[in-house]
Amino acid sequence: MSLQLLSDVIFGLGRRAPRLPCALLRAMPLGLLHALRAPGLRETFRVAARASYYRDAFAAARVDVARARRPEDLGDFYLTPEVLKTRPEALLAATPELAVESSGTSGHVARVYLSRRELEYNARQGGLLYGLYGLGRGDRLLCTLDVGWGLGSLLVERGVRQTPLFAMVVGRVDPLEAYRRLAEYRFNVVVSDPFWLARLTAIARERGRPGPLKLLMGGGEGITPRTRAELEAFWGAPLCMTYASTEAATILAFECTHRLGYHVNEFDFYVEIADRDADGYGEIVLTTVNRRVMPLIRYRTGDVARWLPEPCPCGLPFRRLSPLRGRLDEQVSCAWGNLHPDFFEPLLGEVSGLGGDWQAALYERDLTPVVQFRLELTDDGAARERAVQGVLGALQRTRPEAWLAYCQRLLDVEFAFFTPGTLRQQRKLLRLVDERQSGTPAWVEGAISGVRPR
């Protein structure tokens, strides 16, 4: 029996008895799971050789893919994100029926092709989580993940079709609009991005909690322990995060209700940690097991984590990843999508008197994410005011989706001004930094006072 067939059986049983799949998974030894996965991996290697990129790359690396049994057998071969951004069609091993794109804002989004059967399978696999979380008939789910070129709401909408849940998948609506409907529809499960959940919570604090929730499900970006604790305390419900990506085309890993790391979806992925440091942290590398249109082999995600060796109290056999430590590049995920430094270049291009050194930082104030523009300008109040208005004007003109998120208060914007020549604290100035975990550094706190737009 293949692992995909076993998944079909488990899911079929789950439609009649929602708690049964989790009981079966807890009883499955990890070694058996990996043994059942092995034929799918070998088929992945065989099918991938049909794609022009893999065929040429394997030949250049002198890899005999026919003899490979696991990704490590491919030696130094890795697939980098640039291929998905610049020539994804070279990875096609069969005729696609649809595509999904990342929410990147760098001008080069990652694109993944799928068959409709693969999409439905991926959505169904994600739907198994509802049984894991104890959801069933009588529960009411609201999903506000973005509806666009990406995956989020697409997977949820298809996944809930196989469940008895009452569910509405409405896309990225204004949190205030959703708040007004929580009591009306008696939603007790909310699925969204952490920044959206934080804004909904802030509104509920001001206007009154419409009722307790049973579960919050987050995805799309990391969350700080403080924000998680505040959301859980306010709603009286656990917040379980998922680790998904466009490249994975489904949930790669997920938190159980113990929230002690991410359980890897070992039905559909072979995950490695590459280039580990002394503490075991390295880059997450994934290989798909059941994708045949566009298989990914040893794809370098850029995300940094480590394996958690101790067993989880939930009893699931899947290995666990630690919370993500960060990324290898300067990408940051927030309400504005997956940001890169070149997101900010056009916004700053018309700021008169701005030098070559600048920095954008993401941190949290209370529960609100804040993008802070750190600019070097002379000590001139009029020049700073023109800079603020210039950046905001450019944001409104050139990034309408980001401007809408700002107007909906999904995040805030502020400006900090520095004397020219003082921003560069070391040889390399990082253009984009994520300070949600570490907090704003002392050298920024002691600089010229920040300015928030009116």
Residues 6+ apart with CB under 8 A from 450: 372, 414, 415, 416
Class of domain 332-451: alpha beta
Contact assessment for residue 352 and residue 395, using Cβ atoms and an 8 Å cutoff: no
Q: Identify the weakest region by mean pLDDT among 307-316, 337-346, 363-372.
A: 337-346
User: Which range, 297-301, 348-352, 363-367, has the best average confidence (pLDDT)?
Assistant: 297-301
pLDDT bracket for residue 322 (50, 70, 90): very high
> Percent of the chain scored above 90 by pLDDT?
64
Q: Does residue 276 or residue 15 have the better pLDDT?
A: 276
Which of the following CATH numbers is that of domain 3-327: 3.40.50.12780, 1.20.1260.10, 1.10.1660.10, 3.10.580.10?
A: 3.40.50.12780
Pairing of strands 368-376, 412-418: parallel
Distance CA(153)–CA(54), nearest Å, equals 31
Cβ count near 246 (within 10 Å): 21
Mean pLDDT across 268-273? 97
Residues 6+ apart with CB under 8 A from 420: 355, 357, 376, 377, 378
pLDDT surpassing 90 at residue 145: yes
Residue 449 confidence (pLDDT): 55
Distance CA(292)–CA(118), nearest Å, equals 8
Q: What is the pLDDT of residues 169-226, one digit of tens each?
A: 999 999 999 999 999 999 999 999 998 999 999 999 999 999 999 999 998 666 888 8
Contact assessment for residue 368 and residue 197, using Cβ atoms and an 8 Å cutoff: no
Distance CA(363)–CA(70), nearest Å, equals 40
Sketch the domain layout of the chain as residue ranges. Answer: 3-327, 332-451
- Give pTM, 2 decimals: 0.85
Question: Would you give the distance in Å from CA 35 to the centre of its chain?
Answer: 29
Q: Does residue 446 or residue 327 have the better pLDDT?
A: 327
Residue 79 confidence (pLDDT): 97
Nearest to 47 by CA among 302, 270, 289: 289
